[in-house]
Structure 1
Amino acid sequence: MTAFFDLFLPSFTMLFVTMDPIGNMPIFMSLTESPRPGYRLLMAKRSVLIGFSVMFFFAYAGEAFLNLLGISIPAFRIAGGIMLFIVALQMIFIDEQKEKAAEEASDHPYENDVSVFPLAVPLIAGPGSIASIILLMSERHGNISQQAYVIGSLIAVCLITYFLFRLSNHFARLFGQTINTVISKLLGIILGAMASQFIIDGVHGLIA
């Protein structure tokens, strides 16, 4: 139980907020409107699988990539924290990135495969979520058991995303746009606090 609260829950919260399955749900609905039977279910499966693959890749290769570029983990914590804070502000006030992605994809007919863009990237595996997974894994560098909790939380968020996408019509009618907006803004506040902590930890790491 201690490991759940100390390892799994913080990772799950960070990834859930940055991957934002609740906020992505109405966008998924608008992008997958189609008279073709099974199209929405197919896009849900593909987008989540591709998004998970991208996140999994950066979970294990992200830190090595940073080392190749000569970027220290404290420096990335500061940069990642700033990026996550910007994402939090967008969630609280206005989410232009998602609106832009939805508008670009809506220009294409429903026959097109929208699972890669914009669903998997950047809605599921966006800059904020990729930065989060790299930071979470780097904090547990060399500890396979602790990193397993991060991967487990990633799997859990992806399963929730698939579940929400698949049942998006029912959830939209149940909660409505107003409640969805309120939830998204509350998650944005939480993300802002977590981003601030990343920046503080990064500064401490640089001056230590």
Structure 2
Amino acid sequence: MELNFKEIITVGMVLFAVIDIVGTIPIIVDLRTKHGHIESEKASLVAGIIMIVFLFVGEELLSFIGIDVHSFAVAGSFVLFFLALEMILGIRIYRDEGASSASIVPIAFPLIAGAGTMTTLLSLRSQYHAENIVVAIVLNIILVYAVLKSSSQIERMLGKTGLGVVRKAFGVVLLAIAVKLFAANVKGLFM
């Protein structure tokens, strides 16, 4: 077991930026208004389980389909690139629309553990040790739980401008990580 604090922090920041729980506070507040109480514990736990299972089963699923990790990581870097552009420029390239209830769907999946998160997990798997990624997932789920529990207070505290600044800052971090991920894996495509 190779627990590495630097890897945990790096992976944790990547996941924090991709999950973008602070940026989704307006969506969560809207869902709470429309559907009443949100089960923060249930949503966090289910999202964590989905991410950890996909971290370990995703690679086997890819090999079954016939896709190598480098190809998936390069594809993942493009997904992260576009997610970062959404965050920085405030544009909508892709979003899942319409929520009928505020239970597991849409909060645990796809809001927290969505396509971007899944792609990121497998992309990170090609560069970092699995145990460090699991620790980073658990830390992020704890943070997600805290944000879900206190979303209305955070929204009041940061305001629209504050939320926008946080979102753009993490967008820039995510963009840099996408470029690094692409550079680290593109050579593997031609070997």
Separation in structure 1 between the aligned mates of residue 186 and residue 130 of structure 2, nearest angstrom: 23
Deviation by residue 1:64-98 (Cα, 9 ceiling, x = unmatched): 01111111111111101011101111111235344
Give the equivalent residue in structure 1 for 2:83: 87
* Cα distance, 1:137 vs structure 2: 2.3
Separation in structure 2 between the aligned mates of residue 147 and residue 90 of structure 1, nearest angstrom: 28
Give the equivalent residue in structure 2 for 1:50: 46
Distance 1:127 1:95, change over 3 A: farther
- Superposed, which structure 2 residues align to 1:37-186 within 5 Å? 39-40=37-38, 42=39, 44-94=40-90, 96=92, 97-98=94-95, 101=97, 104-105=98-99, 108=100, 112=101, 114-140=102-128, 146-186=129-169
| TM-score, normalised with respect to structure 1 | 0.83
Of residues 155-164 and 27-36 in structure 1, the stretch that sits farther from structure 2 once superposed is 27-36
* Cα distance, 1:24 vs structure 2: 1.6
Separation in structure 2 between the aligned mates of residue 195 and residue 186 of structure 1, nearest angstrom: 14
Distance 1:35 1:201, change over 3 A: closer
Give the equivalent residue in structure 1 for 2:29: 29
Separation in structure 1 between the aligned mates of residue 9 and residue 43 of structure 2, nearest angstrom: 24
Give the equivalent residue in structure 2 for 1:143: none
From the two aligned structures, give the one with the greater helix fraction: 1
Whether the 8 Å contact between 1:77 and 1:201 is mirrored in structure 2 is no
3-state SS, counterpart of residue 33 of structure 1: helix
Identity of aligned residues (%): 27
Separation in structure 1 between the aligned mates of residue 132 and residue 15 of structure 2, nearest angstrom: 12
Give the equivalent residue in structure 2 for 1:193: 176
* Cα distance, 1:23 vs structure 2: 0.9
3-state SS, counterpart of residue 22 of structure 1: coil
Alpha-carbon RMSD across the aligned residues, in angstroms, is 1.9
* Cα distance, 1:138 vs structure 2: 3.2
Larger radius of gyration, structure 1 or 2?
1
| TM-score, normalised with respect to structure 2 | 0.90
Q: Which runs of 5+ in 1 are unaligned?
A: 141-145
Separation in structure 2 between the aligned mates of residue 123 and residue 35 of structure 1, nearest angstrom: 16
Separation in structure 2 between the aligned mates of residue 162 and residue 67 of structure 1, nearest angstrom: 33
Q: Which runs of 5+ in 2 are unaligned?
A: none
Distance 1:35 1:139, change over 3 A: closer
The one-letter code of the counterpart of 1:22 is V
Of residues 181-190 and 25-34 in structure 1, the stretch that sits farther from structure 2 once superposed is 25-34
